[in-house]
Amino acid sequence: MNHGILLVDDEPNVISALERALLDEPYTIYSAESGEKGLELLSRTKVKVIVSDERMPGMGGAEFLSRVKELHPPVVRIMLTGQASVESTMKAVNKGEIYRFLIKPWDDTELILSLRSAVEKYDMEEENRRLLRTVKRQSQEIKMLEKRFPGISAMHKDDSGTFVLPDISDDEVEKIIAECCEESQGEAEENAQK
């Protein structure tokens, strides 16, 4: 599985040091020397976690991360700053909904652990989103079936308490599901157009 990580810092030495620290981690590492370049890179590459510096020429780290939150909400955001002030921490946390706040000079182990949990968070959220989508789709299917065959989703039990399945052949079922899929896809497209 490919884990994309984006490092943003105006100091190339910091980026290479971070890359070295993450050498043994299973990540594909991308880097950008400014917020603008980072956004540009994000538009064409899929990453899970961003580690950004706070003070950079041009777009600052806090602003960059808040733009990321806006444009690519699932991406987990970590700030790595040399400015260890409570004020800037709170600003960044409030504005960019930062997942972690790391202070330079950083501890490699802390960095690695933070990134691992960030990736995990991303994956879990992704999984969550996927599952949500599945649940949504399935409930859509049931809705369709109910529309076409009223009472189909209702459960019947016999006197001994076992479920009684309706008397429909497997082929028929397959056919119905395919129809439903088409319909729900059509609906989804309609929604997207809206």
Partner 1 sequence: MQPSGTVLVVDDSPLICKTVCQVFEPSGYNVLAAMGGKEALQILADQGERVDVVITDVIMPAIDGVELLGKIHELYPDLPVILMTAYSNIDIVITAIKRRAFDLILKPVDATLLQQAVEKALKQRNLLHLEKNYLETLKQTVQAKTRELHLKMTELEEARTTQVVEHEELKILFHKVQDIKDEWERTMDCIGDMVLLVDPVGKIRRCNQALRLFVGKGYMEILGTEWKELFLNHSLTCGTTFTSGTELHHLPSGRWFIFTEYPFTDRTENKTRGTVITLHDTTELKITMDALGNAYKELQTSQAQVLHSEKMASIGQLAAGVAHEINNPIGFVSSNLGTLGKYLERLTGFMASQERIVEHAATPEARQELAALRRELKIDRIVPDLDKLISESLDGANRVRKIVKDLNSFSRVDQGNSEVADLVECLESAVTIVWNELKYKATLNRNYGNIPPLNCYPQQLNQVFMNLLVNAGHSIENQGLITITTWSDNGTANVSIADTGSGIAPEHLTRIFEPFFTTKEAGKGTGLGLSVSYDIIKKHHGDITVESTVGAGTTFTVRLPLENPELENGREEAREEMI
Asked if 55 interacts with partner 1 (CB under 8 A), we say yes
Distance, CA of 34 to CA of 7 (rounded, Å): 10
The contacts found for 100-109 with CB under 8 angstroms, 24 or more apart, are: 102/51, 102/78, 104/14, 104/80, 106/80, 108/21
Q: Which of 21, 152 has the CB closer to partner 1?
A: 21
Pick one of 17, 29, 41, 176: the residue that binds partner 1 (CB under 8 A). Answer: 17
Asked if 112 interacts with partner 1 (CB under 8 A), we say no
Pick one of 2, 13, 169, 191: the residue that binds partner 1 (CB under 8 A). Answer: 13
From the list 74, 80, 70, the residue with the least C-alpha distance to 39 is 70
Contact predicate 81/55, CB 8 Å? yes
Pick the piece of the chain touching partner 1 (CB under 8 A) from 39-47, 69-77, 86-94, 152-160.
86-94
Pick the piece of the chain touching partner 1 (CB under 8 A) from 68-76, 82-90, 127-135, 177-185.
82-90
Pick one of 37, 67, 104, 137: the residue that binds partner 1 (CB under 8 A). Answer: 104
Q: Which of 39, 93 has the CB closer to partner 1?
A: 93
Provide the token pair at 28: 């594909």
Q: How far is the CB of 110 from partner 1 (least distance, A)?
A: 11
Asked if 14 interacts with partner 1 (CB under 8 A), we say yes
Asked if 84 interacts with partner 1 (CB under 8 A), we say yes
Backbone conformation region of residue 150, classed left if phi is above 0, alpha if psi is from -120 to 50, else beta: beta
Edge-to-edge order in the sheet of strand 3-8: 27-32, 3-8, 49-53, 76-81, 100-103
Pick one of 29, 39, 41, 103: the residue that binds partner 1 (CB under 8 A). Answer: 103
Provide the token pair at 180: 């439903």
From the list 76, 102, 77, the residue with the least C-alpha distance to 89 is 102
Contact predicate 46/4, CB 8 Å? yes
Q: Which of 16, 138 has the CB closer to partner 1?
A: 16
List residues binding partner 1 (CB under 8 A): 11, 13-14, 16-18, 20-21, 23-24, 55, 80-87, 90, 103-106, 108, 111
